[in-house]
Amino acid sequence: MKGTLFSQSSEQNTQAIAQQLIAAMQGQQGSWFAQLRDQTRLEDKLLNWTLNNPGLRVQLFRLIDVLPTLSTKAEIARHLQEYLTLPGVELPSALKQLLNFAAPDSLPGQMAATTFSTAVSALAHRYIAGENITQVQKTIEKLHRNSMAFTVDILGEAVITEQEAAAYLQKYLDLMAQLAQGSSTTEANLSKGQVSVKLTAFYSQIDPLDAQGSQAQASDRIRTLLRHAQKLGIAVHFDMEQYVYKTLTLETLKGLLMEPEFRDRNDIGLTLQAYLRDSYSDLQSLIEWAKLRGTPVTVRLVKGAYWDQEMIQSAQRGWQQPVYSAKADTDANFERMTQLLLENHSILHAAIGSHNVRSQAKAIAVANELQIPPQRFESQVLYGMADKLAQALSTEGHRVRVYCPYGELIPGMSYLIRRLLENTANSSF
């Protein structure tokens, strides 16, 4: 009975906080401009069309995916016509007009190619915090002015050679040095500057079937990263990737963070994905491990970015699906994990990564009920995905960190496609 009362009031608190956040989002200045812009810019129109037209959505995203590999306007124009005139694609009249050219290398063809690539580039810049470190630093300054912290991620494709793995590490060492130089007292007040990294990029031959070998090789480079990060005063967070790498990632990090050299570090974090059926039990094991370790680590709780890929791959290979198949199950698991994570705030600090008002409101409600000290709980969003929510959270006095991916468009394409898929999914809040 006590439990029921607790959860009823928790639900009421969650809804009240969500209403408050929504009101703060609606009250933000500039929203009229965003609305006006949404109706006029081609990139916004592209997004709006995909919401109601699944056939167009698939072909448009295939086209965006292939775009960086096309080197001439004629090639782009040819692909535009080829992809967008396939059966099952319903074209809005503005797109029909754009495709109304006889030959890809004609003037109208070239104009169509330019219009389309400009729109995609504008779209990419909305989700990518800069193409180089100088641009990212400007983004960071803007975040600071709005009392938000950051984590920087270098965009990249899968690492397939050892030279690429070494280059990945070096890029992060350089990035951290530059971040440390540019770090202002504001960041010190908010929290440490932070980078986000992917374990698979530290070793090109990473293979869950050779867990020991992969762990040893990746760990070697991660040690270098962590040592530099400590000297520079930069925190390090590990993203979570596809399910096939999950156990290897958790085991590698748990092993490293138990080593005497790193055991006292409280500025390192890892990520759990609530769409995984075994994520709740992973969190339970992590709690036991953290108790043993004695120094807190941060857990970024997210729902998971590879849902379509996990579903398709497990079906193709006849494996059990590692992810929930209903969005509501992921959402419910996210809330259960939020509760468990926050209940263990003395050994696991919580970073709630979501653009869903309800998910963030739930975490705040639980944090309030448990009277969690502010430094043990923060909200996180991806750059460009939930600006209004981030601003509302920050205005309401919550700690907010924005995940800032940066880099060139080509390596960033798969990141862009994941964000577009999410932003145009009918299941989103």
Catalog residues that contact ligand FAD under the rule CB under 6 A.
Answer: 239-240, 271, 273, 275, 300, 302-307, 323-327, 330, 353-356, 359, 380-382, 403, 422, 427-429
Closer to ligand FAD by Cβ: residue 327 or 336: 327
Residues composing the chain: 429
Q: How far is the CB of 145 from ligand FAD (least distance, A)?
A: 20
Q: How far is the CB of 231 from ligand FAD (least distance, A)?
A: 25
Contact 429, 357 (CB under 8 A): yes
Closer to ligand FAD by Cβ: residue 18 or 98: 18
For residue 423, CA distances in Å to 38, 50, 218, 277 come to: 14, 10, 33, 24
Contact 50, 57 (CB under 8 A): yes
Closer to ligand FAD by Cβ: residue 6 or 319: 319
What is the DSSP track for 149-188? EEEEEE------SHHHHHHHHHHHHHHHHHHHHH--HHHH
Closer to ligand FAD by Cβ: residue 219 or 354: 354
Q: How far is the CB of 339 from ligand FAD (least distance, A)?
A: 16
Task: State residue 361 phi and psi, 5-degree precision.
Answer: -65, -40
308 Cβ contact partners less than 8 Å away, ≥ 6 residues apart: 421
Q: How far is the CB of 140 from ligand FAD (least distance, A)?
A: 15
Question: What 8-state DSSP symbol labels residue 259?
Answer: S
Give counts: helices (H), strands (E), the chain: 18, 8
Task: State residue 405 phi and psi, 5-degree precision.
Answer: -80, 140
Closer to ligand FAD by Cβ: residue 319 or 429: 429
- Of 196, 180, 197, nearest in space to 188 by CA: 180
- Of 271, 422, 416, 419, nearest in space to 349 by CA: 271
Distance (Å, rounded) from C-alpha 166 to C-alpha 172? Answer: 10
Q: How far is the CB of 19 from ligand FAD (least distance, A)?
A: 17
Q: How far is the CB of 237 from ligand FAD (least distance, A)?
A: 8
Q: How far is the CB of 322 from ligand FAD (least distance, A)?
A: 11
Q: How far is the CB of 329 from ligand FAD (least distance, A)?
A: 6
> With DSSP H G I counted as helix, E B as strand and the rest as coil, what are the percentages for the chain, rounded to 5?
65, 10, 25
Q: How far is the CB of 428 from ligand FAD (least distance, A)?
A: 4
Closer to ligand FAD by Cβ: residue 104 or 384: 384
295 Cβ contact partners less than 8 Å away, ≥ 6 residues apart: 263, 264, 265, 266
Q: How far is the CB of 418 from ligand FAD (least distance, A)?
A: 7
What is the DSSP track for 331-395? HHHHHHHHHHHHHTTTTEEEEEE---HHHHHHHHHHHHHTT--GGGEEEEEETTT-HHHHHHHHH
Closer to ligand FAD by Cβ: residue 77 or 283: 283
Closer to ligand FAD by Cβ: residue 24 or 311: 311
Closer to ligand FAD by Cβ: residue 81 or 424: 424
Closer to ligand FAD by Cβ: residue 330 or 339: 330
Closer to ligand FAD by Cβ: residue 58 or 91: 58
CA 314 to chain centroid: 23
Distance (Å, rounded) from C-alpha 159 to C-alpha 167? Answer: 10
Distance (Å, rounded) from C-alpha 296 to C-alpha 376? Answer: 10
Q: How far is the CB of 307 from ligand FAD (least distance, A)?
A: 4
